[in-house]
Amino acid sequence: MDYQKRIERLSNLLRTEELEALAVLPGPNLFYLTGLSFHLMERPVVGLFSASAPPRLILPEFEKPKAEAAAVALELFSYGEQEGASLSAFQAALSRMPADGRAVAVEPLRARFHELGLLQAASPHTRFVTGASLLASLRMAKDSAELAAIRRAIEIAQRAMDQTVPLIRLGMTEHELASELNVQLLRAGSEPEIPFSPIVATGPNSAHPHAVPGDRRLGAGELLVLDWGATASGYISDLTRTFAVGEISQELAEVHRVVGQANAAGRAAVGPGVRCGEVDRAARAVIASAGYGEFFLHRTGHGIGLEAHEPPFIRDGEPTVLEPGMTFTIEPGIYLAGRGGVRIEDNVVVTAEGSSSLTSSPRELKVVG
């Protein structure tokens, strides 16, 4: 991973947007820029990236060796264990903030009252704004190393599913099946921090897009939704397949067929220069024209990368224009309360010519159990 190049791209974006700096917290953004991982806990860790100064990192004294070994040179501002010690590290790190009124962007989804309070106390005249759009511009299009990691995460997830499907038995609980899938994910080579705990939902539970596996047993004539992913080099995959447990009704089979068509239409709509909203509309139109429009309860997809939900978002009216290297899910679904649901989720990448599906697990309705 070329961290120096990423930091340079960030510096250019900061100049264009006339921002003084970007503050990031432990998690995907700090990892993206430095390769460093820290836990988000009570001892604050903040990275400060500006166009005019070397990257700075505020961190506990005992974490210094880790930061010194980072792939990029960082100016370190450390603090000890005594109460209130971190404020002086924040003050030192922010002491060279120019007073010309340029704002500092802050990573919005991880920054807490904790860090924001310290940043404000250390630099009372600085304006802090959200770094959401800056970070989206920085991370949406993936480079070849990132794409290779996503491909690996998909390969692992698909291998884990190949190993899990033969273990599916009538009468086993959702929780038992989820445990098998978790084991197979780790065995296939996923990093221990899987992107999310797998969704295993049968029968009426499959009508909830975010069902949590429980004690319900797999019964004949029901749908089974499996939504799972793996992690490789910090990058994730996110797939969903829907199975038939034994013989299912014609209506449920028809719902599966419609969702499959919507998934194909969504994937076919992807290409450079296309707006995210148009991709959503392409998938949604198939489901609406089959009469199930009101049962497609969520957006068509979301970006994937270091996070399982990141920009771009494939939703109605989203104006973001697709560019080569962007990776996201196409995951239409139909959810019939009390009866069951179907979702088919693939991971795609925008290419110079159009797009390609990175996932290849069979999408046809398979009978299990």
Q: Which residues of the chain form contacts with Zn ion (CB under 5 A)?
A: 227, 238, 240, 329, 345
Query: Which CB sits closer to Zn ion, 194 or 368?
Result: 194
Residue 296 C-beta: closest distance to Zn ion, Å: 14
Torsions phi, psi of 274, nearest 5? -85, 140
What is the Cα–Cα distance from 18 to 313, expressed in whole angstroms? Answer: 26
How far CA 241 is from CA of 158, 189, 223, in Å, comes to 11, 20, 10
Query: Which CB sits closer to Zn ion, 29 or 329?
Result: 329
Residue 329 C-beta: closest distance to Zn ion, Å: 4
Q: Residue 339 CA to chain centroid, in angstroms?
A: 29
The string of DSSP letters for 233-249 reads TTEE--EEEEEEESS--
Query: Which CB sits closer to Zn ion, 11 or 329?
Result: 329
Residue 140 C-beta: closest distance to Zn ion, Å: 16
For residue 8, which amino acid is it? E
Query: Which CB sits closer to Zn ion, 180 or 345?
Result: 345
Query: Which CB sits closer to Zn ion, 280 or 345?
Result: 345
Q: Residue 8 CA to chain centroid, in angstroms?
A: 24
Residue 75 C-beta: closest distance to Zn ion, Å: 38
Residue whose token pair is 């596996």:
213
Query: Which CB sits closer to Zn ion, 307 or 345?
Result: 345
The one-character DSSP state at 359 is: -
For residue 277, which amino acid is it? G
Torsions phi, psi of 77, nearest 5? -125, 100
Q: How many helices (H) and strands (E) does the chain have?
A: 10, 19
Nearest-CA neighbor of 219 among 247, 181, 261?
247
Nearest-CA neighbor of 139 among 233, 328, 6?
6
Residue 70 C-beta: closest distance to Zn ion, Å: 31
The one-character DSSP state at 275 is: B
Query: Which CB sits closer to Zn ion, 11 or 359?
Result: 359
Residue 227 C-beta: closest distance to Zn ion, Å: 4
What is the Cα–Cα distance from 231 to 189, expressed in whole angstroms? Answer: 8
Residue 279 C-beta: closest distance to Zn ion, Å: 14
